């Protein structure tokens, strides 16, 4: 089939217009934010370790919009208004996320119409309570209580507790200048746990550090933490 010159110009103009229209779509502007919680209390996790997924209904989309929770358990995303489902993949996080009878992770439906704050309720294996951290004489001393939340057939033991110290507010097993571990088998009372770590020489020198306590659950990759604290000395 022959295409005349004028018809070819019309096709090119239409394609250019459609391309420009597509490129000129407004970016997502609606903010969805919140945090991981258990009975209203924030769940503290490790930076960039615990993922979540959002799926948008319609528009032919099949892939997930992925993200990770911040150390304080918060999340924030810019999205288009619409209907979404929120999913935490199986075996992620120091908690249990609800599942379908098939074993697949359940989802939370979200109807997004303007900025929305939505906390994500989960059930942690343990909660860390009454954490007290102090610095002095070249050391960081910490005490806290571990409360076992999940009991029965789904209960898990404490593998270890760890005190992490760092120069910056990113504090974890992957980000620290010093750490101290205490094995779970040596803990006689989970309601009263103490741990101490030495502050190493810091270059350039600074008169403060950041610290937090982490609890490793047997058979669970991700740890649960206390909030990061800045300690001056």
List, for residues 92-120, the tens digit of each pLDDT value.
999 999 999 999 999 999 999 999 999 99
* Per-residue pLDDT reduced to its tens digit, 181-212: 999 999 999 999 999 999 999 999 999 999 99
Mean pLDDT of the residues in the chain: 90
165 exposure class (CB count in 10 Å sphere: 0-12, 13-18, 19+):
buried
Chain length of the chain:
233
30-123 and 125-232 have identical folds: yes
Q: Name the residue ranges covered by the structural domains of the chain.
A: 30-123, 125-232
Q: Does domain 30-123 have CATH number 3.40.50.2000?
A: no
Q: For residues 54 and 107, what is the distance between their CA atoms, to the nearest angstrom?
A: 9
User: pLDDT at position 26, please?
Assistant: 80
* Per-residue pLDDT reduced to its tens digit, 57-86: 765 556 789 999 999 999 999 999 999 999
CATH architecture assignment, domain 125-232: Sandwich (2.60)
Share of the chain above pLDDT 70, in %: 87
User: pLDDT at position 47, please?
Assistant: 94
Query: What's the pTM value of the predicted model, to 2 decimals?
Result: 0.85
List the beta bridge partners of residue 41.
Answer: 38
What's the average model confidence in pLDDT over 109-133? 97
């Amino acid at each position: 089939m022959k295409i005349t010159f004028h018809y070819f110009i019309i096709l090119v103009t239409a394609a250019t217009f459609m391309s420009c229209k597509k490129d000129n779509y407004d970016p997502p502007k609606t903010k969805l934010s919140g945090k991981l919680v258990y009975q209203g209390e924030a769940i503290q996790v490790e930076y960039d370790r615990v993922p979540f997924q959002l799926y948008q209904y319609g528009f032919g989309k099949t892939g997930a919009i992925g993200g990770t929770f911040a150390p304080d358990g918060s999340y924030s995303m810019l999205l288009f208004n619409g209907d979404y489902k929120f999913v935490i993949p199986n075996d992620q996080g120091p908690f249990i996320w609800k599942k379908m009878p098939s074993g697949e992770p359940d989802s939370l439906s979200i109807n997004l119409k303007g900025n929305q704050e939505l906390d994500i309720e989960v059930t942690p294996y343990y909660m860390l309570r009454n954490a007290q951290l102090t610095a002095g004489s070249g050391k960081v001393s910490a005490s806290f209580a571990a409360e076992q939340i999940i009991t029965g057939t789904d209960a898990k033991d404490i593998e270890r507790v760890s005190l992490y110290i760092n120069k910056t507010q990113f504090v974890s097993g992957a980000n620290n200048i010093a750490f101290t571990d205490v094995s779970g088998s040596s803990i006689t009372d989970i309601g009263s746990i103490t741990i101490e770590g030495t502050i190493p020489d810091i270059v350039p020198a600074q008169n403060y550090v950041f610290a937090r306590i982490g609890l490793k659950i047997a058979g669970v990759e991700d740890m649960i933490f206390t909030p990061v604290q800045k300690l001056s000395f």
